[in-house]
Structure 1
Amino acid sequence: MNEFDLIRQYFTRPTPRADLGIGDDAALLSISAGNQLAVSTDMLVAGRHFFPDADPERLGHKCLAVNLSDLAAMGAKPSWFTLSIALPEVNEEWLAAFSRGIFALANEHQVELVGGDTTRGPLTIAIQIAGEVPRGQAMLRSGAKTDDDIWVSGPLGGAAAAVMHRSGRVTLPQDVFKQCDLRLDLPQPRVAFGQAIAHLAHAALDISDGLAGDLRHICNRSHCGAVVFVDQVPPAEQLIHLPAELALEAKLAGGDDYELCFTAPVSARNKLQKIAAEQGMAISRIGQIVATTQPSIQFLDTQNQALALTLGGFDHFRT
């Protein structure tokens, strides 16, 4: 099987919403009047972003999910993506499973594969995703305002617990590990929720590298501070099987959750809760945006006392 046979067999699907899809030097796309094009890209490298023995069908899901999550954080509707993949060899069984995973999620969110590239090399997957958002309505990291509530969707730390188990830092009961592994391998991008709250939220991002590190991006871009009530940050239920210190690390600094962290005015509380309930989700109000001279995050305990935490997010060049 040569490169073009591989593309034709495993990655070519109809693209009715694109003017031109796979098969030429570039795709041709048209966006609706009054909208902006939102574009994001993520690269996943074996041994860095996923374990080398990762199930290929789950890996197909995850590599698209992390990109969908970026558009969810902007309140954008995803439409198209490209896939570039380096493979150490042509393994048809692996490719069949990988493409099943990626297209199952693509079909769920009605997003089309319109191009990409293949080559031989260490297993590396790069996806670029594009979608539409009404002009001027994208949720930005720079939009947080003083006295905004800080919210997160879903519980945090389950994926981090799976990584801790896989790397030998803890040993979880097998059934608990399998639950955490699902969180790690099959994140659920909050696409519909992101679009639904875009008119209410002031700032947003997705939690990919840990709450502590990612919320700091909002603080930096919005020139503000954040106060986070640690006990209000919802932990994944499996964290009860971790030592207290590691459980705290998992929910505050663990990556791969791909939940949304967003800020919104106090007046939006009831509407946000209603939207979440309509979508069968739980959202948690975890803190407040405050005015500061330097961007910072302060973590408080149940007595409103500051905790001396030095947790940060994942950094590819420091970790």
Structure 2
Amino acid sequence: MGEFELIRQYFQPMADSARQGQLILGPGDDCAIQRVPPGRDLVFSVDTLVEGVHFPPNYPPEYLGWRSLAVAVSDLAAMGADPVCFTLALSLPRAEPEWLAGYSRGLARASAAFDIALAGGDTTRGPLTITLQVHGTVQEGLALQRSGARAGDLVCVTGPLGDAGAALDFLETAAPTDDQQAVLARYHYPEPRLQLGAALVGKASAAIDISDGLLSDLQHILDASGVGAELDADKIPLSPALVALKGNEALSYALSAGDDYQLCLTMADDQLSALDLHVRNQLITIGRIHSEAGLRVKNAENIGSRQGYDHFGRSV
């Protein structure tokens, strides 16, 4: 199968069926065209997933289709942006129809779920590598950033942590238990917190999505904002499945395992109190920002030696 036939058969239908709007020219030309409405800022991010690094060899392609777009769109959620379109660069060792059908099926499901249109891309021969660039827009001047945390702010997260990291132990389990299936679902089908991120625009002081582990990603906020924080281990949300599977190690997974794609954010007390009840009920307060540098966790007797993910082996 040639490159253009591959695109026509597996990816062009996804682009043709996508809702247009701000994307006024999609695949088929030298470039796509996106129109940014007045009063909006363009927000964009790029993610690369490499077989054997970001997902295991022989990972089911339909899972990969959903997952590859979800982890990229999660960056838009962290900025409070509304998704618009994405591009896909796909490097394949060979054009296998069964793999392509599964991958494009999962990708199309994610595209529809996140309301983000395929704008174009590229295919080439090589080791299995997937690069997606996502575009969104946010109200002008109000994108959530990492640099706005201030002493006294609360530290919040948007849901249980550690499940996706625990799932790595069960990816090849032939007959997973109910608890194993629960954490595997969090790994296979991450859910970007798009609506919640958009609801926090103008209210949260800083935000980041949790891709490399809570402690690692929160540290990025602290570094950018020039502050420190103290977390309360007793308030870190743990799922029943994680506790059942990992016992005393569950907290370590919640603090340091990656791939959860919940949001970690900071917010003043009065801003939290003023939130719509539906939004406020989705936030779990786990600590507070301090003026002194450093990240401390109280009530943590068994954090263990797990560390946040780093591509080049640096301790974080």
TM-score by length of 2: 0.92
Tell me whether 1:264 sits opposite 2:267 in the alignment: yes
SS class of match (1:57) = helix
Tell me whether 1:315 sits opposite 2:310 in the alignment: yes
Tell me whether 1:178 sits opposite 2:189 in the alignment: no
SS class of match (2:49) = strand
2:190 & 2:213 partners in 1: Cα distance? 14
Aligned to 1:192: 195
Tell me whether 1:105 sits opposite 2:100 in the alignment: no
The percentage of aligned residue pairs carrying the same residue is 42
CA-to-aligned-CA distance 1:55-103 (integer Å, 9 cap, x gap) = 2111101100011110000000010100001111111121111111111
Aligned to 2:284: 284
2:302 & 2:95 partners in 1: Cα distance? 51
1:200 & 1:144 partners in 2: Cα distance? 12
CA-to-aligned-CA distance 1:39-62 (integer Å, 9 cap, x gap) = 001111111111112221111011
Structure 1 residue 145: deviation in Å? 1.0
Of 233-242 and 264-273, more deviation after overlay is shown by: 264-273
Checking the alignment, whether the CA contact within 8 Å between 2:86 and 2:133 is kept in structure 1 is yes
Checking the alignment, whether the CA contact within 8 Å between 1:233 and 1:286 is kept in structure 2 is yes
TM-score by length of 1: 0.91
Tell me whether 1:207 sits opposite 2:202 in the alignment: no
Structure 1 residue 173: deviation in Å? 6.0
Checking the alignment, whether the CA contact within 8 Å between 1:273 and 1:283 is kept in structure 2 is no
1:247 & 1:127 partners in 2: Cα distance? 32
Structure 1 residue 20: deviation in Å? 1.4
Structure 1 residue 283: deviation in Å? 2.2
2:229 & 2:68 partners in 1: Cα distance? 31
Which among 227, 241, 245 is matched to residue 244 of structure 2?
A: 241
Tell me whether 1:251 sits opposite 2:254 in the alignment: yes
Give the length in aligned residue pairs.
309
Give the aligned residue type for 1:90: A
SS class of match (1:141) = coil
Tell me whether 1:301 sits opposite 2:299 in the alignment: yes
Checking the alignment, whether the CA contact within 8 Å between 2:190 and 2:261 is kept in structure 1 is yes
SS class of match (1:19) = strand
Checking the alignment, whether the CA contact within 8 Å between 2:249 and 2:303 is kept in structure 1 is no
2:159 & 2:222 partners in 1: Cα distance? 21
Structure 1 residues 136-147: aligned runs within 5 Å: 136-147=141-152
Change (3 A) 1:311 1:161: closer
2:89 & 2:80 partners in 1: Cα distance? 25
2:283 & 2:198 partners in 1: Cα distance? 15
